[in-house]
Chain A
Amino acid sequence: QKEVEQNSGPLSVPEGAIASLNCTYSDRGSQSFFWYRQYSGKSPELIMFIYSNGDKEDGRFTAQLNKASQYVSLLIRDSQPSDSATYLCAPLMDSNYQLIWGAGTKLIIKP
């Protein structure tokens, strides 16, 4: 079992719709969770982080965390073509305080 699982996609979403990206993780001790966006050929950049169970909203982005289910998600409302990218989920490992990265979900927003 991979430590961080993400659907590789591509996930195709119409412009203006909600994109839902999911991530499951195996380390029950992980307390912090990061979502990064990576455009093709570019480096990752932070979108959001979440520490507590529940929802955290930042503009069009909402991160959702359920530690009991070891599940974290990212919702993108009013999706724009500029949101087309690969989204990387990265829990912070409790054992060594290092990020463990998922392989990412490729998101395509269709105009």
Chain B
Amino acid sequence: NAGVTQTPKFQVLKTGQSMTLQCAQDMNHNSMYWYRQDPGMGLRLIYYSASEGTTDKGEVPNGYNVSRLNKREFSLRLESAAPSQTSVYFCATTQGINTEAFFGQGTRLTVV
């Protein structure tokens, strides 16, 4: 079992380019999340999906879109990358609301 798999691990984009971060889990969890982590700040929730077919905005959704493709996969899209989106992005899953979050290995994104 791989757990939570994110691709890619590293990416450099030019301002204005688009890309999609992929996340897949084999834990049969209902809820999936996308966070960003910046130096000196806690993890900030971008979007989450409480269950297949639903998505909701988190704390910092501007500039991002998501798709819950099926129960296993949750993707994050940057339509027009900006330097302010330079960050480490983590996908996470939980079985329910008050349960342990399992994280992917992270994607280090640099926008120049």
How many residues of chain A get a CB closer than 8 Å to chain B's CBs?
A: 22
Contact A92 B98 (CB under 8 A): yes
Contact B42 A100 (CB under 8 A): yes
Say what secondary structure dominates the interface of chain B: loop
**How many pairs, one residue from A and one from B, have CB atoms within 8 Å of each other in the complex?**
45
Interface size class of B (residues with CB under 8 A): 10 to 19
Interface residue? B53 (CB, 8 A): no
Say what secondary structure dominates the interface of chain A: loop
Q: Which one of B40, B42, B48, B98 lies within 8 Å of A101 (CB-CB)? A: B42
Instruction: Name the 6 nearest CB pairs between A and B, nearest first.
Output: A101-B42, A43-B103, A101-B43, A97-B97, A46-B100, A103-B42
Binding site for B on A (CB under 8 A): 4, 8, 32, 34, 36, 42-46, 49, 88, 90, 92, 97-104
What are 10 A-B residue pairs whose CB atoms fall within 8 Å in the complex? A34-B100, A43-B103, A43-B106, A46-B100, A90-B42, A97-B97, A99-B43, A101-B42, A101-B43, A102-B42
